[in-house]
Amino acid sequence: MSKPAPVSLIGLVSDQLALLEQFLAQEKDDSLFPPTTDASADAIHPIHGPDARPLDTADGPAPLIFRALRHHVDRLTFLYEALRALSSSQNLPEALARMVDIIWQREQYSFAVVVLGETELGPYFYYEMRGIMDPRRFLGKQCPLPLWGELAHALVRRLDPQEADYLIIEDVAATGRPKAEEFPWMEREGSLMILPLRDESVAIGALLLGRRQVNGFEDPELCAELVEITTFAARIIIATQMQQELQERADQLVGLQLFTRSISARATLPEVLNTIIDGVAELMGCPAVALLLHIEMIGAPLAARLDSLHDIQVYQDLVIAAAPLQLDPSTHFSKLYRLVMWTIDAVQPLFFDPAEHVESPEDLYYNEGGRALLVPVMAGDNPLGAIYVEASAGAHDFEEGDMVVLRTAANAVAIVLDRFMT
């Protein structure tokens, strides 16, 4: 997928030229170029008004108009180079690092932090941090998103298109905002600016900038420049995320082919089970994997073979093969038993957070993602059990694409297990 071109730069150039024309008109009205007469045609006339200064001479200062022109050219050049650098980003970490580098080197900031969300409503995670003590404590960790917080306020879409799409706190110490529990890494002084990163009107993340002095973001030109950079950066972030997801799905398709061939080539049941656990772990990018088979549904021959294996555990009517040292079936699935049985009986996948208490499996039916995923294992129309995967700490939640991949793997598992059911 090609990167979006810096089309917004065209509009920015037009805006800057319009501002320059206004400036010229104003300076002309203020007698920057007063009318001449024949007697004074070759004379140098002074600028009138509070900004009076001599016009260009060999040794004198440059006129205000040329300094303004140079300022606008410098700003346009900076934005052009910034957008060109962002456009060349090949992946998400590179795009985020370049965005922060560009902004960090342009002005003096006390910190720069990027958070990205898995959905607009969260959860949000820390992806990039500058100027923070021990950033490793926070990078990859979840950023709190309380409804009363400043981040939530900044991410809310503006109803008035003319309203500035960012949040500024001019004096953190005096206002007591934001609260320490929202951003525990932030010093309680100076000023804060939060710029949302949006896909059209949907927030995908935010850039947080700090300055040590109060009123550090009162320059409207600086704010406009930051909005321009973050708006374009959001497009690059979305493009790189799409590329990354497409690559991950392509890798999973290749992995599915290898997984199917691998389990089909194993001759004994222990080899098949080990290959299933290892293959699913590699396919889904997570170490916590379990194959849960219902004793009554798999039939006596397969149940007897499983019972003879020393590394198989039983919990109630479930036979469990799990990755060693990753899951303790006796404790883990005692909490999740109802969810496993619902998945088997309803023949439906479930996304959920294993750390949260669930009153009823039906409450999870419309979940579109989660830290853990259960999919049924079906032999034709007959359920045999389920496959359970759990994301590792700091990894993204599973989503619909992962569910499709795991269900395909579960179908291959059912076909191979059928050999041992007679």
The pLDDT tens digits for 213-244 are 999 999 999 999 999 999 999 999 999 989 88
Q: pTM (2 decimals)? A: 0.66
pLDDT in the model for residue 23: 57
Tokens of 165: 């799409």
188 Cβ neighbours under 8 A, 6+ residues apart: 172, 173, 180
The size of the chain, in residues, is 422
Handedness of CA 421, 311, 392, 318 (dihedral sign): positive
CA of 382: how far to CAs of 192, 373, 374, in Å?
59, 20, 17
Angle 8-29/220-264 helices, nearest 10 degrees? Answer: 180
Backbone angles phi, psi at 194, to 5 degrees: -115, 120
- Mean pLDDT, consecutive 10-residue stretches, the chain (422 aa), reads 47 57 55 45 40 46 69 78 83 92 93 93 93 93 93 91 93 96 96 94 95 95 92 92 88 92 91 94 92 93 85 88 71 87 94 85 83 94 94 83 94 93 82
pLDDT in the model for residue 49: 42
Give Cα 15 to chain centroid, integer Å.
31
**What structural domains and CATH numbers belong to the chain?**
1-87 (no CATH), 89-247 (3.30.450.40), 266-420 (3.30.450.40)
pLDDT in the model for residue 287: 87
CA of 160: how far to CAs of 27, 60, 164, 167, 194, in Å?
33, 47, 9, 15, 18
| CA torsion, ordered 373, 376, 377, 380, to nearest 10 deg | -150
3-state SS record for the chain: CCCCCCCHHHHHHHHHHHHHHHHHHHHHHCCCCCCCCCCCCCCCCCCCCCCCCCCCCCCCCCCHHHHHHHHHHHHHHHHHHHHHHHHCCCCHHHHHHHHHHHHHHHCCCCEEEEEEECCCCCCEEEEEEECCCCHHHCCCCEECCCCCCHHHHHHCCCCCCCCCCCEEECCHHHHCCCCCCCCCCCCCCCEEEEEEEEECCEEEEEEEEEECCCCCCCCHHHHHHHHHHHHHHHHHHHHHHHHHHHHHHHHHHHHHHHHHHHHHCCCCHHHHHHHHHHHHHHHHCCCEEEEEEEHHHHCHHHHHHHHCCCCCEEECCEEEEECCCCCCHHHHHHHHHHHHHHHHHHCCCEEECCCCCCCCHHHHCCCCEECEEEEEEEECCEEEEEEEEECCCCCCCEEHHHHHHHHHHHHHHHHHHHHHCC
Tokens of 103: 């902004």
pLDDT in the model for residue 17: 55
Task: Tell me which residue of 233, 387, 375 sits closest to 322, measured CA to CA.
Answer: 387
Tokens of 331: 């404790």
pLDDT in the model for residue 121: 87
Which amino acid belongs to residue 386? A
- Burial (CB < 10 A; 0-12, 13-18, 19+), residue 81, is exposed
Handedness of CA 50, 51, 55, 57 (dihedral sign): positive
